Structure formats: structure tokens, C-alpha cells
Structure 1
């Protein structure tokens, strides 16, 4: 799958189930306070007590709203969960799984620093996989780098460890296969973009250094709906919405997410988990799912 991007019309020529013009994935980075802690550490600083509590809002309150919105609209999502979150908030992670949503890998301590060695990455994967498997009974098939940071050796490690897909890149509007390597195993990439990330609109901190980003919900909804409509008009595309329960889980924002889901349904989007989309892409390309 090699394409020259023209920025508008071309894609892999895939046809989504039921004639859908776009595949939508509702993904949640359930990283609790570890997002803020690791982000600060990667910048050589630390967060304060109240900033940590902003992250804790996700497991304590925001997650429940996210799960309720998904249930109300009858759709499934993919939750990328660091191993340490499984350890600290086991009941919340079990609740995600019990509701039928996909659990995928997202580091152990949400390690977002650059310069991690291949050996470190391997150990992080092993530890986080074991913790997720303790909840689901199977190894995860999907991976997203913390803050979408991956390393040159990450795709090879994912293939070696039997992963089906990655969702960290920002280079296309459609799903694609990573170039073949010595493992001979297929790896699907489900790329996204910062405009489809609630972090861009809602992340707030006085630390790491200070970020004060706070957009009105109407603008966020308008941006996301406009992007979905434009991608659907082109066809063959995907929309990966990247959400964080500590941010999107605020009451009015959760309601806005429900409005987006309703809009996507009205446009005939195929709303599915990352695993479902990745398996469909691999089958379309004539590959074998791991």
C-alpha cells in the first residue's frame, strides 16, 4: 500500500461495511494522572498536587460518564490503558472490559520521553501486556505510544509480539499497512491528528510548563463534525477520535461527545473498535490477522 497523497481525493480504495463512507473509532487514552506526571517528567519538571487531581478525575468521575455515553448510543470504543493504571485502578479497568470495550496497550507508566532503548521498550510492553491480560484473558492486539510517541524499533517489536495494529502516526487520513520487514508480519496503522484529540482543546495545567487551553464545546463539536463530513464526502477514510476521560468526561463535554456520535450515525459512519477496523483492513489487503 504505497500512495502519493494529493491531500484530497486518494486513498486505498477500501469499501467499509454497509457502504459506509468513513470508519470512526472512538478511542480513549485512560492514562489518569500518569499523563500529567510523565509529560512533566519529559520536560524536566513536576506537577503539583492539584494538577495530579485533574488526572485523577478520569478514573474517579469522568470514566463513568464516558462509558454511559457509549452505552446510551450503543457503540463500542477502544481504551488505551497504561499498565500502572491497571494496577492503581483495577475496578475501573475491569468495568471497561465488562462493558465490551477493547483494551489496548499504552505503556506502563505512560513513558513519553524520547530516547527509550529497544530493551526498555520491550520490558514496558511485556509488563503492560501481562497486566492487561490479567483483566481480559488475552494479550492486547493494539498499541498507542504515550503522547503518540513511538521509536524507530517500535513497529518491529509490535510485530514480533503479535500485535495487529498501531495507532500513533499522523501522516494520512486512511488506514494503511507498515512496510514489510524481516518478521514478515503485517501491522496496520490507524493514524489520527491533533485536531481530533480532546487534549488539543481541553488540556489545562499550571505546570509542565503552564498550558491553558480551553475551547467552547460548540467549537470542538463543529470542528469534529466538519472533519467527519469532509472525510465522508471523499470516501475510503478513517476518523480516529482520541479522548481522555479526565477531559472529555466533564459533564457538558460528555454530552457533546454524545452529540458527535449521533452526528456520525446520521452520516452513516461505521463506528467500530480499532481491532475491528484493523482486522477489516488486513482482510481487505489479503493479509492474515494475527
Structure 2
């Protein structure tokens, strides 16, 4: 009697066929202050007072728990916003101390960012599990520091899977980032990725996202969607977020989860995620 070969282990929790994390970046004016480009009182950024509450309401309406990659500098400036995120079940992850471009840091400044960020997080009772490097690049020495500070996953540009030092890689790609479509300074990157150099429309962003969501479900992969509160400046842009949240929350094939939960699953199933998979 011939026995059947064992079925491969499930890639994602049953009954899901794919995993998507809805993520947010940048809390307030941390980067502007670092660059000397914030002329207003500290703690008055409209992205926190106006756009973020509306975004949280949309997330709540669709039952989506997000991951917010926030600069540690902002934790003490906007403690109420951070606490509201935690109460709503969202993950607060790390985005550098003050949005310093990670790929340009020397060894001393990189370690200093870790040290200052962990002190700030400790003062507010935040425990960082994940890190998204500003600029999307992880330095070679970052891996050892991530392990030293107990970071479980990193979310740079790159490939999904198990990274170095036992750190899970949950990447993003430019075309799934609102800034890629909406900001003038991304013109060169748009051109490199086959798009027009000028700023593109919310509708174009939405159509691309919907296509990538379909592709992620088809391939059984992982996708990180990335929105910035300070860029949600029109009804049309909020409609994009609304439509995307509806799409991912109503599809029974998609596991919509904060990055830390996806990372936990990956680490618990090394037989499935032994090597990096392409996006």
C-alpha cells in the first residue's frame, strides 16, 4: 500500500492564504525638527491632532490593527496619541530616534539612536519589537544591535523571510507607499520604478495597491502597506485608505495582522520560512 507524501505545513494560519500588515510611518514633526524646518510650537503637528484620529477611526471601523513606526523622539511629545494607539490594539514600533536616515549613520550615531530611543520608550512603557529604518536601508552592523536590543523583526526595503541574527524581515516596497505617489521629492524613485516623474494621483496609488493585494493573495505572500498621516490631506486620499481597508478586511483569504504577529508566526515556523522568499 502506497502512503501519500505528507502535506506541506501551512504557510499562514488557517484559513488564510496570504498575510498583509497595514503600517503607518512618522509621528509628528520629529524629522522637521531634526532638519531645522519646524517653525511652529513643538507638539502641534496637524497630522497628530487632525489626520491621525480620523485614520484610527477608519482602522477601527474595519477592524484592522495596524503597526505604527514612530520616532522615539515623538513618544514624549505625543504620549496621549501613543497611548491611544496601544488602547486600540495597534502596535507601536520603532522608526529611529528622530527619523535620521539610517543608511547614512556612522557606528557611534547608530548606537546612540538605539540608546536614546530605548530610554524614551521605557519612560512611556513602550516595548519595541520591530524596526523600520528611515530611508529603508539596514546597515551591516545594525543586525548585531537589533539582536542586542531584543528586536524581533525589521521592515526595510528588501526580501521577505528570515534575516540575520534570527531577525525576521518584513519588507516594504516603494509602490505600496503613499509617499512614492504623493511627494515631489520621490520623482527620481518613481522614474526608476517605471512611473512618471511628476506627482501621481490617489486613484493611481489605489489601483496599484489593489493590484498588489491581488498578487499577494495569488502567490501566498506577505505585503506591507504604508501610509503617512501627514499625507492624508484630502477627501480623495482618505477614500483610498477607506477602499484599501475594506478590500483587505473583507477578504477571508487575507490574514490582516500587525507586523509583530506576522513575525511571531514566521519565527514559529522555520520549516516554512527557512530562507528568504521574494516579495
TM bin, normalised by shorter chain, reads 0.7 to 0.9
Q: Check conservation: 2:29, 2:38, Cα contact below 8 A.
A: no
Give the direction of change, closer, same or farther, for the CA distance of 1:266–1:99 in structure 2 (3 Å limit). Answer: closer
Q: Check conservation: 1:27, 1:243, Cα contact below 8 A.
A: yes
Matching residue of 2:28: 32
| Count of residues paired in the alignment | 252
Task: Give the deviation of 1:218 after TM superposition.
Answer: 1.9
Query: In the TM superposition, what whole-angstrom CA distance separates every residue of 1:23-78 from its partner, at most 9, and x where no partner exists?
Result: 1101111332234555xx5xxxx64759x99x933112111111111100011000
- Aligned residue for 1:148, secondary structure, equals coil
Task: Give the deviation of 1:249 after TM superposition.
Answer: 6.1
Give the direction of change, closer, same or farther, for the CA distance of 1:14–1:128 in structure 2 (3 Å limit). Answer: farther
Q: Check conservation: 1:103, 1:132, Cα contact below 8 A.
A: no
Give the direction of change, closer, same or farther, for the CA distance of 1:133–1:97 in structure 2 (3 Å limit). Answer: farther
Q: Check conservation: 1:81, 1:103, Cα contact below 8 A.
A: yes
Matching residue of 1:16: 12
Task: Give the deviation of 1:165 after TM superposition.
Answer: 0.3
Matching residue of 1:9: none
Distance 1:14 1:103 in 2: 28
Residues 217-256 of structure 1 mapped to structure 2, 5 A cutoff: 217-235=202-220, 237-248=221-232, 250-256=234-240
- Aligned residue for 2:97, secondary structure, equals coil
Q: Which consecutive aligned stretches of 4+ in structure 1 deviate over 3 angstroms post-superposition?
A: 35-38, 46-50, 248-252
Q: Check conservation: 2:153, 2:169, Cα contact below 8 A.
A: yes
Distance 1:125 1:48 in 2: 24
- What is the TM-score with the length of structure 2 in the denominator? 0.81
Structure 1 vs Structure 2 CA RMSD:
2.7
1:195 is aligned, of 153, 162, 175, to 175
Distance 2:267 2:113 in 1: 26
Matching residue of 2:275: none
Matching residue of 1:72: 61
Q: Check conservation: 2:64, 2:249, Cα contact below 8 A.
A: no
Q: Check conservation: 1:27, 1:80, Cα contact below 8 A.
A: yes
Structure 2 gap ranges (5+): 1-7, 186-196, 273-279
Matching residue of 1:6: none
Give the direction of change, closer, same or farther, for the CA distance of 1:249–1:100 in structure 2 (3 Å limit). Answer: farther
Q: Check conservation: 1:26, 1:240, Cα contact below 8 A.
A: yes
Task: Give the deviation of 1:230 after TM superposition.
Answer: 1.4
2:164 is the counterpart of 1:179: yes
Q: Check conservation: 1:201, 1:215, Cα contact below 8 A.
A: yes
Residues 91-102 of structure 1 mapped to structure 2, 5 A cutoff: 91-102=80-91
Matching residue of 2:242: 258
Structure 1 gap ranges (5+): 1-11, 181-185, 206-211
- Aligned residue for 1:146, secondary structure, equals coil
Matching residue of 1:154: 142
Distance 2:57 2:198 in 1: 26
